A = this chain, B = another copy of it.
Amino acid sequence: MPLEALSSLLLAAADAHAAGAVPIVLLALAFAIVGAKLAGELVERLGQPAVLGELLFGVLVGNLALFGGPDLRHLAASETLTVLAELGAVLLLFHVGLESSPAEMLRVGARAGIVAVVGVVTPMLLGFGVGALLRPDDSWMVHAFLGAMLSATSVGITARVLKDTDTLRTQFARIILGAAVIDDVLGLVVLAVISGVITAAATGTTLSIAAVAVILLKAVAFLVGALAIGSLISPRLFRGALALQSRGVVLALSLGLCFALSYVALLAGLAPIVGAFAAGLVLEEVHFERHRERGEPPLHESLEPLIALLVPVFFVRMGMLVDLQSFATLSVLGFAVLLTLAAMVGKLACGFVAPEGVSRLTLGLGMMPRGEVGLIFAAIGSQLVLAGRPVIDASAYAAAIFMVMATTMLTPPLMLWSIKRSAAARPIAG
C-alpha cells in the first residue's frame, strides 16, 4: 500500500515540521489578531472601547457551537495559548508601569491603600449578604467565601482602558493602579484566611495567625523589595549596559527584568502581572537616554508591537472562556445577577473615599473588573469541601463566571463614558 505508507510518512513529516502545537497556534494567532482588530474597529465606531470588541469577539468564537459552528472553546485551554495570553497581560502591565514611577505611586500610596481596603471589605460584606439571603441553609463559611470571591480587582481591563484613553498619567489612574496592586495582596490574604478556616473546620483544627502572617509577609516583602532594590539597581544596570555595543540592549534587559520580576511575584504567591507592573515602575526611561541618542527607539515604542501581537490574545481568550450556556436556568441567572450587583456596588463604594478633584464614579468603575482573579477564586472554592459538598457548587460557579463577565464587559464602556464626562466638566490633572 504505497499511498497509505506515504500518507502516514507525510503525516510524520508534517508532525516533525509542526512540532505538536505549532499549526494550531499559527492558525489561532492569525484569527485572533485579525479578528480582534476588526472587532475593535467595529465597536470603536459605535463609540465603545476596542477591548470590548476583542472580548465580544472571544465570546463569539468560544460559543460558535451554539450557532451550529465548531466547538473552539478547548483552544482557549491549550497550554501555549494560555502562556501567550499571560505574556500579553504581563507586557501590558509592564507598559502601564513604565508610565509611572515608585515616587509617584508613593504619593498616592495612602489614598490607594484606603481605596483598596474599601474595595475589599464592601464587596465581601455584600457578597456575604447575598449568600445569606439566597442560600440560608449553607454555612456562614460558604457565605464568606462567596464574599471573598468578589474582593480582588483584576487590573488588566482597567489598565487597557486607561492606556487607550491616554489617561495613565492622571491622579485617578495612579490611585486605581496602586489600589489594584494592594488589592491583589489583600485578596490573597483573604483567600488564604477563608480557605484556611474552611479547611481547618473540615479537618477539625484551627488556623494559626502565624501562617496568615507568612503569606502577608511574603507578598509585602516582594513589593517593597522589588521597588526598593529595583529603583537602586536599574540606573546602574542601564548605565553599565551602555558599554555594550549591539542594538536592542535596552529592550533585552528591560524584558529580562520584566519576566524575572513576574516570576518572583509568582514565587511570592502574587499574580505575575503584579511583578511586571513593579518592573515597569522601577524602570525610568531617562536612564537609557544615551541609548536613544544612538538612534534606538524609546522603550515604550518598542513594546507597542509586542503588545499588538500578544494583548489581543489575552482578551480574546478571556472572552472565549465565557460559556453562554451556563446561564440557561432562571434560578442560576437570578443568583448571578444579585452576586454581580453586589460585586459592582461593592467596588463603586471605593468612589466615596476618592480625593478632591477625582471623579468618584470613574475611580469606582476602574476598580470594578474581576477578570481572571475572580475565576481563580471560584476554581479554588470548587475544590474546597465542607460538609461533603463543594464550597462553590455548579450554580455558584456559573454565577461567578457571570459576575466576572459582566464586570469585565461593562467596565470599558462605562469607564469611557465616565472619563469623557468628567473631562468635559473639568481639565484632567497632569
Residues of A that sit less than 8 Å from B by CB: 1-3, 5-6, 9-10, 12-14, 16-23, 25-27, 29-31, 33-34, 36-38, 40-41, 44-45, 50, 79-80, 82-83, 86-87, 90, 188, 191-192, 195-196, 199-200, 203, 205-208, 210-211, 215, 244-246, 248-249, 251-253, 255-260, 262-263, 266-267, 269-272, 297, 301-306, 308-309, 312, 376, 379-380, 383
Q: Which residues of the partner chain B approach A251 to less than 8 Å between Cβ atoms?
A: 305, 308-309
B33:A255 contact, CB within 8 angstroms? yes
Chain B residues with CB under 8 Å of A2's CB are 196, 199-200, 205-208, 211
CB distance from A78 to the nearest CB of B (A): 9
Q: Which residues in B have their C-beta under 8 angstroms from that of A301? A: 297
Contact yes or no, B17 A376, CB < 8 A: yes
Say how many copies of this protein the assembly contains: 2
Contact partners of A199 in chain B: CB under 8 A? 2, 5-6, 9
Complex A-B, nearest 9 residue pairs according to Cβ-Cβ distance, in ascending order: A34-B256, A30-B259, A37-B252, A16-B376, A30-B260, A5-B199, A26-B263, A302-B305, A6-B211
Q: How far does the alpha carbon of A170 sit from the alpha carbon of B248 in the complex, in Å?
A: 25
CA distance A206 to B208 in the complex (A): 75
Interface centre among A26, A80, A211, A267 (most CB of B within 10 A): A26
Q: Which residues of B contact A87 (CB under 8 A)?
A: 25, 29
Q: Return chain B residues, CB-CB under 8 Å to A25.
A: 83, 87
The complex places the Cα of A36 from the Cα of B211 at a distance, in Å, of 41
Q: Which residues of B contact A195 (CB under 8 A)?
A: 9
Q: Within 8 Å CB of A380, what residues of B?
A: 9, 12-13, 16
